[in-house]
């Protein structure tokens, strides 16, 4: 007594064809798990003439979105085309037509997620987006279902595969930033304009989504302190390594006293920390809960089949809901008033690399700048460099953002001192 569930897909790129492949290859298991026969009826494509081989057999292709969105036989729409504006328009149409939606579109969910979730609820439709963060890692469902009993305190994620690949190359193979970027581009991990990846924008969008689910709060992109890896030098990666750290681009969302703070940036991670050993293009999300303690979820952050796995798992959940008559319940029902932590509440240790004139007394001046803001040192390395200059690397004790801003302002004004880079340091 299997019912037929008909699916329309928007987009026939890598994820779209991955979805079709998984639905074919794992058909027997999916039928048993859902109690339904799931079949792809139509796919919206850009170029209908393109030869797609056997994979498109039995599926109607169209370049007209309304043929998919307005087909009364289609129960579920999978949006895997990317872009923001047209995807939003199509999903809106689909939900208004009473169709359930699964999307892999992080940009869309980060920017318009709340609006679309409300629209889905209004129309008694499901809206899932597991694939939008960390590709094949089921981190959203884990936070929503399995950690529902816990109060989450911190989420730290390596959620951008491109930069993690580049940092791995820079760390293990001593490549420069430029070499690592070139290799990532050659392998198809980075786009020709790598801005979204290397400047941390992609990671920040994913942190918007993770913050919404983990803390029930809505943080805007411009409320996230976002730094990329563009200015990272091999020498800093080497120095960090000597001090027992690996540099990773980490998105951090933490809650304290009812307020939340979200940031993205390269961070010194102690080498024994589970996040330090996440290699290449893999992703990982480290979650600290008041009760559960430290957990980590690791896997492929992108790629045709991993991302498609998450899309199809969402589709299976929709199919089960259809069978049980329980569609239209929002994925995440945890909501909280959004409150940002103040500068005084946001604490971190820092790594600072300062180039300065090697003259007597200047190190004392440097020390005074930190002492004036009541910040102590955890580690100091001073090395002479050419031209009568010295390089001083400092790892500080914990300081708050107010102290950080004071110190940075003074370092900027100080003669004969040049702050090369400053990075957060994760506590061991």
Binding site for its own copies (CB under 8 A): 18, 21-22, 25-26, 29-30, 32-33, 35, 130, 136-138, 141-142, 145-151, 272, 274, 277, 279, 289-300, 303, 305-306, 308-310, 312-313, 315-317, 324, 326, 329, 333-335
**According to the annotation, is 10 in a ligand binding site?**
yes
Q: How far is the CB of 42 from its own copies (least distance, A)?
A: 20
Q: How far is the CB of 177 from its own copies (least distance, A)?
A: 24
Q: How far is the CB of 188 from its own copies (least distance, A)?
A: 16
Report the residue number, 17 or 348, with the smaller CB distance to its own copies: 17
**According to the annotation, is 11 in a ligand binding site?**
yes
Tokens at 277, concatenated: 């050993």
Question: Is the dihedral angle over the CA atoms 26, 32, 36, 37 positive or is it negative?
Answer: positive
**According to the annotation, is 16 in a ligand binding site?**
yes
**According to the annotation, is 15 in a ligand binding site?**
yes
Q: How far is the CB of 300 from its own copies (least distance, A)?
A: 5
List the end-to-end C-alpha distance of the chain, in Å, as a whole number. Answer: 56
- Give the strand pairing for 293-300 and 127-128: unpaired
What does each C-alpha distance from 183 to 100, 303, 361, 371, 387 come to in angstroms?
Answer: 40, 17, 45, 44, 34
Q: How far is the CB of 142 from its own copies (least distance, A)?
A: 6
Q: How far is the CB of 421 from its own copies (least distance, A)?
A: 28
Q: How far is the CB of 256 from its own copies (least distance, A)?
A: 16
| Contact assessment for residue 74 and residue 7, using Cβ atoms and an 8 Å cutoff | yes
DSSP for 100-158, written as a single string: EEEE--HHHHHHHHHHHHHHHHHTT--EE-GGGSSTTS-HHHIIIIITTTS-EEEEEEE
290: helix, coil or strand? Answer: coil
The residues that bridge with 340 in the sheet, in sequence order, are 260
Distance in angstroms (rounded) separating the CA atoms of residues 20 and 39: 9
Report the residue number, 5 or 22, with the smaller CB distance to its own copies: 22
Distance in angstroms (rounded) separating the CA atoms of residues 240 and 47: 49
Report the residue number, 148 or 409, with the smaller CB distance to its own copies: 148
| Contact assessment for residue 259 and residue 142, using Cβ atoms and an 8 Å cutoff | no
DSSP for 300-355, written as a single string: E-S-HHHHHHHHHHHHHHHHHHHHHT-TT--S--------BPPTTT-EEEEEEEEE
User: Of residues 99, 206, 248, 349, which has the active-site annotation?
Assistant: 206
Distance in angstroms (rounded) separating the CA atoms of residues 161 and 48: 31
Distance in angstroms (rounded) separating the CA atoms of residues 137 and 140: 8
**According to the annotation, is 191 in a ligand binding site?**
yes
**According to the annotation, is 410 in a ligand binding site?**
no
**According to the annotation, is 17 in a ligand binding site?**
yes
Report the residue number, 154 or 418, with the smaller CB distance to its own copies: 154
- Give the strand pairing for 152-158 and 282-289: antiparallel
The residues, any chain, with a CB within 8 Å of residue 268's CB and separated by 6 or more, are 240, 243, 245, 246, 247, 351, 395, 423, 424, 425, 426
**According to the annotation, is 353 in a ligand binding site?**
no
Report the residue number, 100 or 422, with the smaller CB distance to its own copies: 100
368 tagged catalytic: no
Report the residue number, 123 or 403, with the smaller CB distance to its own copies: 123
**According to the annotation, is 106 in a ligand binding site?**
yes
Report the residue number, 82 or 303, with the smaller CB distance to its own copies: 303
Catalytic residue numbers, as ranges: 206
Per the annotation, where are the binding residues for L-homoserine?
191
Residue numbers in the known binding site are 10-17, 106, 191
Annotated binding site for NADPH: 106
């Amino acid at each position: 007594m299997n019912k037929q569930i008909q699916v329309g897909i928007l987009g026939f790129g890598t994820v779209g064809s991955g979805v079709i492949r998984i639905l074919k290859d794992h058909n027997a298991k999916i039928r048993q798990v859902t109690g339904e026969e799931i079949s792809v009826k139509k796919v919206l494509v850009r170029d209908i003439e393109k030869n797609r081989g056997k994979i498109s057999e039995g599926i109607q292709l169209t370049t007209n979105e309304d043929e998919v969105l307005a087909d009364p036989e289609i129960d579920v729409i999978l949006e895997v085309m990317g872009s923001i504006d047209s995807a939003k328009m199509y999903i809106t149409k689909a939900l208004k037509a009473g169709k359930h939606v699964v999307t892999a579109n992080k940009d869309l969910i980060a920017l318009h997620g709340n609006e679309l979730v409300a629209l889905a609820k209004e129309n008694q439709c499901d809206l899932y987006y597991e694939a939008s963060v960390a590709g094949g890692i089921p981190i959203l469902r884990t936070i929503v279902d399995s950690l529902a009993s816990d109060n989450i305190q911190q989420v730290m994620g390596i959620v951008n595969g491109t930069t993690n690949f580049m940092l791995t190359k820079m760390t293990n193979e001593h490549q420069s930033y430029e070499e690592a970027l070139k290799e990532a581009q050659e392998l198809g991990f980075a786009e020709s304009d790598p801005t979204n990846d290397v400047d941390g924008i992609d990671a920040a969008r994913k942190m918007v989504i993770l913050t919404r689910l983990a803390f029930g709060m809505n943080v805007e992109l411009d409320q996230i302190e976002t730094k990329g890896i563009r200015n990272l030098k091999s020498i800093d990666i080497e120095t960090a390594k000597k001090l027992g750290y690996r540099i990773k681009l980490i998105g951090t969302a933490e809650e304290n006293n009812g307020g939340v703070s979200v940031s993205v940036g390269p961070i010194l991670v102690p080498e024994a920390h589970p996040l330090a050993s996440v290699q290449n293009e893999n992703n990982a999300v480290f979650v600290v809960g008041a009760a559960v303690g430290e957990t980590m979820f690791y896997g492929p952050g992108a790629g045709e089949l991993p991302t498609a796995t998450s899309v199809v798992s969402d589709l299976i959940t929709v199919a089960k809901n259809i069978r049980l008559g329980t569609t239209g319940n929002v994925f995440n029902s945890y909501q909280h008033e959004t409150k940002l932590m103040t500068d005084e509440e946001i604490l971190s240790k820092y790594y600072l690399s300062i180039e300065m004139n090697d003259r007597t007394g200047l190190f004392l001046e440097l020390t005074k700048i930190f002492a004036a803001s009541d910040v102590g040192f955890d580690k100091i390395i001073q090395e002479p460099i050419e031209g009568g200059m010295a390089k001083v690397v400092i790892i500080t004790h914990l300081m708050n953002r107010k102290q950080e801003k004071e110190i940075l302002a003074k370092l900027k004004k100080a003669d004969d001192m040049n702050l090369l880079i400053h990075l957060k340091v994760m506590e061991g």
